[in-house]
């Protein structure tokens, strides 16, 4: 069963720079930036890559979004930004021949970290349907 909604995850330590991660994108707290805290994202390379490019894009503030299935109307902006940023990073990574976006949810979706994240996979031919 999924852990309680307030249980911290390993991603908190990555966000707080308590454990290292190979960060490829971060919305910083710039003075005069109009981007609200709840819409800031962080992206880093997956520690167990399933493709030549495998990046995780996450909200810097979880705000109850343990998984996509917990989404509420207040999350619409951050959900949009996660996907938009995946596209920005795909270009940054040179994935010009295409890529795969995955969001695993819950036990049947093989979700293992309960802080919503978008997987960006590329650099090889992806298969469909998935296993």
Angle at 98 between CA 77 and CA 121, to 5 degrees: 70
110 near ligand 5GP (CB under 6 A): yes
Q: Which position among 2, 10, 35, 38 is part of the footprint of ligand 5GP (CB under 6 A)? A: 10
Q: How far apart are CA 25 and CA 104, in angstroms?
A: 21
Q: Which position among 112, 127, 129, 130 is part of the footprint of ligand 5GP (CB under 6 A)? A: 112
Which tokens is 126 given? Answer: 């992806």
Q: How far apart are CA 65 and CA 70, in angstroms?
A: 6
Per DSSP, the three-state class of 119 is: strand
Whole-number minimum distance, CB 72 to ligand 5GP, in Å? 20
Whole-number minimum distance, CB 44 to ligand 5GP, in Å? 5
Site string (22-61) toward ligand 5GP, x via CB under 6 A: ----------------------xxxxx-------x-----
Which range of residues in 35-43, 76-84, 89-97, 111-119 is near ligand 5GP by CB under 6 A?
A: 111-119
Give, in order, the Cα–Cα distances in Å from 80 to each of 58, 69, 127, 128: 12, 15, 25, 24
**Residue of 120, 99, 125 whose CA lies nearest to 25:** 120
Q: Is residue 54 flagged as an active site residue?
A: no
For binding to ligand 5GP (CB under 6 A), which residues are involved? 10, 21, 44-48, 56, 104, 110-113
Residues annotated as catalytic (active site), given as ranges: 117
């Amino acid at each position: 069963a999924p852990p309680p909604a307030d249980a911290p995850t390993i991603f908190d330590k990555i966000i707080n720079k308590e454990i290292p991660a190979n960060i490829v994108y971060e919305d910083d707290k710039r003075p005069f930036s109009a981007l609200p805290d709840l819409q800031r994202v962080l992206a880093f390379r997956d520690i167990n890559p399933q493709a030549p490019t495998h990046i995780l894009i996450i909200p810097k503030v979880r705000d109850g979004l343990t998984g996509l299935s917990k989404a509420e109307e207040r999350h619409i902006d951050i959900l949009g930004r996660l996907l938009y940023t995946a596209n920005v990073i795909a270009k940054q990574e040179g994935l010009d021949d295409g890529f795969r976006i995955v969001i695993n949810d819950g036990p049947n979706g093989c979700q293992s970290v309960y802080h919503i994240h978008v997987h960006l996979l590329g650099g090889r031919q992806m298969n469909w349907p998935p296993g």
